[in-house]
Amino acid sequence: MTLTLDDANRVIRGAMAKAKEFDIKISVAVCDGGGRPVAFQRMDNALWASAYGSQGKAIASAAFARPSGVLTERADHPTFRGIVAAEGGHMILGQGGVPIMRAGVVVGGCGVGGGTGQQDEDCAQAGANQL
């Protein structure tokens, strides 16, 4: 199973619609199941740092097949530090990313940055729910 560009753009539109409900400016990244970028958008006036946060959360969610926020308390564990380092340091084990699943298989991740951790996760989940 794959994640197409059309799928990724649907996810992004869903996340951005939720951000508009919250009246926040976000960046949204969608990666495939291997953590490689498929699509990215940054809303006008979103913080530039949110671009990096969204990508790192998407990668972490795809890698571990769970919301990135549940990994936060284990982020300092030697195994997780080692995985993040071996992957190149791109993963962010903080709230705001969710895996994208199809038939129980991880096909990607959606990461959001720009709001609170909970707002980011809610936007990411709203995006993932579009598939």
Read off the pLDDT of residues 55-91 as tens digits, 9 standing for 90 and up.
999 999 999 999 999 999 999 999 999 999 999 999 9
Q: Give the residue extent of every domain in the chain.
A: 21-102
Helix (H, G, I), strand (E, B) or coil at 38: strand
Helix (H, G, I), strand (E, B) or coil at 14: helix
Edge-first strand order for the sheet with 105-113 is: 37-42, 27-32, 105-113, 97-102
Q: What is the pLDDT along the chain (131 residues), one digit of tens a residue?
A: 799 999 999 999 999 999 999 999 999 999 999 999 999 999 999 999 999 999 999 999 999 999 999 999 999 999 999 999 999 999 999 999 999 999 999 999 999 999 999 999 999 999 999 99
Residue 104: per-residue pLDDT: 93
CATH number assigned to the domain covering 21-102: 3.30.450.150
Residue 129: per-residue pLDDT: 97
User: Please, is 5 exposed, middle or buried when counting C-beta atoms within 10 Å of its C-beta (0-12, 13-18, 19+)?
Assistant: exposed
Residue 14: per-residue pLDDT: 98
